[in-house]
Structure 1
Amino acid sequence: MEPTARTAVPGHGDLPLPTPVTIDALLTAQEERFARLDRLLPPAPSPEPGEAVNAALPDGTRVAAVVTHQRTEPGMPSWLWSAADTYELQPVVGHTGAAGMDAVLRAFRHWLDRVNDRGPDTAATVIWPSRDVECARVFLDHGLQPLTVTAVRKPTTVRAPSLTVNIRPALASDEDAVVELAMAEVRYSANVGAALLRAEAERTRRASLAGRLGMTDDVWVAERDGMVIGLAETAIVANTPTARTRRQLPIGLWGYVNCLSVLPGARGAGIGQQLMAVVHNHFAGHRTSGYFLHYNPPNPLSSVFWPRQGYRPLWTQWEVRPAGGMR
């Protein structure tokens, strides 16, 4: 899943952020908290431009957040996993933990009431370190669900299992088979996660794949008896100080898995594991800092498969759809 740009939501907030000194202090404390939670987390990022949300704890401690608005249109890759209008809360709560998060989520709930965007194709989200279980309880209490995690893996080679299929880079002639496999993943994920089976789904997936087949070595297929039955769609991502992924990953070169799919009738035979062994060794050849992907915790296949491949959650996207369903 590729990130998309956010835009500010004008005209709905009337409280300024705390002074820069206060924000700097909150960010410093938040960075210290993140470092204690998980050594792989990058420095706590400053919020993106958006609408200020403020709150205070009973002892007078101030916390803050910024709300950004993402508008997704048909034809954009994120149209298949994002609501048309997504309101993301970016908390700056320092060391206050659950108490501070509860305060900014209450303020966010009031902010959403003022916006009054309760359409069915809306969402409210917060992306937060997966290991912060103290705040996880707060998210659940406010009606948010852990729909997506960003998971990471160390950059190690893999001893390839005995191959029962032929694994090779996809060719232009594989387009129909590759799109079929990509759509199988979308249909399954629509039942167990953030994916949406929209009318434009097949056209969108075909457009995102077609130009890459036979041109790069980042789309792989598993073939048995001349039939393509498995797909791994990947990329090598340069996470630079200006890249959007800098907010979630340390700076460096990363291997990325966008989609792994095996035809329903061929699942359970180790084909996904064989594909990923080839992909991981391909990533290792590029001297990557690590590998990352996104999966849905409610997915009974992904939530088991990816930890077995060495991936573990780094960030969790907590979400409620429609946005008005937040408590």
Structure 2
Amino acid sequence: MSTTERFTALDPLLPPPPSEAGGERITAVTANGERVSGVLQRYRHGPADVALLWSAEQVWQLFPDPGISGTAGFDALLGALRSRMDNEQAEPDSACVVNWPSRDAEAIRAFLDHGMVPMSALAVRTGQEPPAPEPDVPAIRSAGPEDLDAVLALCTATFDYTGLVAHRRRAQTAELLRPALRHALGEPATWLAEEHGEAVGLAQCAWVESEPGNAAAELLPTGRWGYVNNVITATGHRSRGIGRALMARAHRELNGRGTAGTYLYYNPLNPLSSVFWHRQGYRPLWTSWEAHPASALR
């Protein structure tokens, strides 16, 4: 079976495996003599890098060869990575990361055995009508540049919460968010829910083209996709249907431009978002497995 056929067997929505990543080659041999390998990349985020909102500062990322199959192969490769990490000085704000198709249950067994947890998932939604919004919810309108302060406050509060259940909270969250939010509010893809003049919910979205050779094509089938970036309901206003109403509006807008579907990233360990997104018709396509700090890899 070719690597492309293997990925298709795992999940028909997976794109063909990308070309080999550049970096340090890691190899291992299983107990029955099968040779497995992957590429290791190491990088560090600076204090002004927006990626700090969803990543450790110091990262070792492993890219397993797409042809690896079975728990034994991943177990051997992760064991080799663990031995390789003995030569590194891992700081407290560090991680070992593997991004892999979510439906590969045999690989999941190895990730768990080596002390890794599912920190984020790329989830997709295709060909489904949005759930009907609740009848009694605040008014929803398009957001613009004049709403930056309200949008920033909602997003900052959300990242403060995810700092409890996913990546650690950053003291500079607002500063990291502001430039991207200012840019996003210049595009017609952000919606606010308002009540008595107060912003109580937000859906910030975009459109992404998955084309051969670009980064999106490594994760998504070719085509135009709606991207759901931040969806927020303010504390004290949850369980009223505001999030569902925002997403009904967002799905109508995003799916009305010839999109193949919509996608987003969520934290599987987040007790709010994991339930919400599954009910919205999303299901995981890729999962990022991580050990924090990097030295915690077993």
TM range (shorter): over 0.9
2:149 is matched by which residue type in structure 1?
A: D
CA distances 1:242-294 after superposition (whole Å, capped 9, x unpaired): 22121111111110111111110111100000000000010111111111101
2:195 is matched by which residue type in structure 1?
A: R
Q: How many residues align?
A: 297
Q: CA deviation at 1:160?
A: 4.2
- 1:257–1:293 Cα contact (<8 Å) kept: yes
Which residue is equivalent to 1:322? 293
Residues 254 and 93 of structure 1, relative CA distance in 2, 3 Å threshold: closer
- 2:154–2:234 Cα contact (<8 Å) kept: yes
Which residue is equivalent to 1:304? 275
Q: 2:200 pairs with 229, 244, 265, which one?
A: 229
- 2:138–2:242 Cα contact (<8 Å) kept: yes
- 1:86–1:122 Cα contact (<8 Å) kept: yes
- Runs of 4+, deviation exceeding 6 Å: none
1:35 is matched by which residue type in structure 2?
A: T
Q: 1:110 pairs with 83, 98, 103, which one?
A: 83
Distance in 1 (CA, whole Å) between partners of 2:120 and 2:163 is 12
CA distances 1:41-95 after superposition (whole Å, capped 9, x unpaired): 1112233101100111233221110001232112222111111111111111625
2:177 is matched by which residue type in structure 1?
A: R
Q: 2:238 pairs with 246, 267, 277, which one?
A: 267
- 2:225–2:261 Cα contact (<8 Å) kept: yes
Q: How does 1:173-212 map to 2 (within 5 A)?
A: 173-194=146-167, 196-212=168-184
Which residue is equivalent to 1:218? 189
3-state SS, counterpart of residue 184 of structure 2:
coil
Which residue is equivalent to 2:26? 53
Which residue is equivalent to 1:151? 123
What RMSD, in angstroms, separates the aligned Cα atoms of the two structures? 1.5
Q: CA deviation at 1:148?
A: 0.7
1:219 is matched by which residue type in structure 2?
A: T
3-state SS, counterpart of residue 324 of structure 1:
helix
- 2:117–2:291 Cα contact (<8 Å) kept: yes
3-state SS, counterpart of residue 211 of structure 1:
helix
Distance in 2 (CA, whole Å) between partners of 1:148 and 1:326 is 17
Structure 1 residues 218-227 or 315-324, which shifts more?
218-227
Structure 2, unaligned runs of 5 or more: none
TM-score by length of 2: 0.95
Distance in 1 (CA, whole Å) between partners of 2:131 and 2:74 is 43
2:277 is matched by which residue type in structure 1?
A: W
Structure 1, unaligned runs of 5 or more: 1-27
2:267 is matched by which residue type in structure 1?
A: N
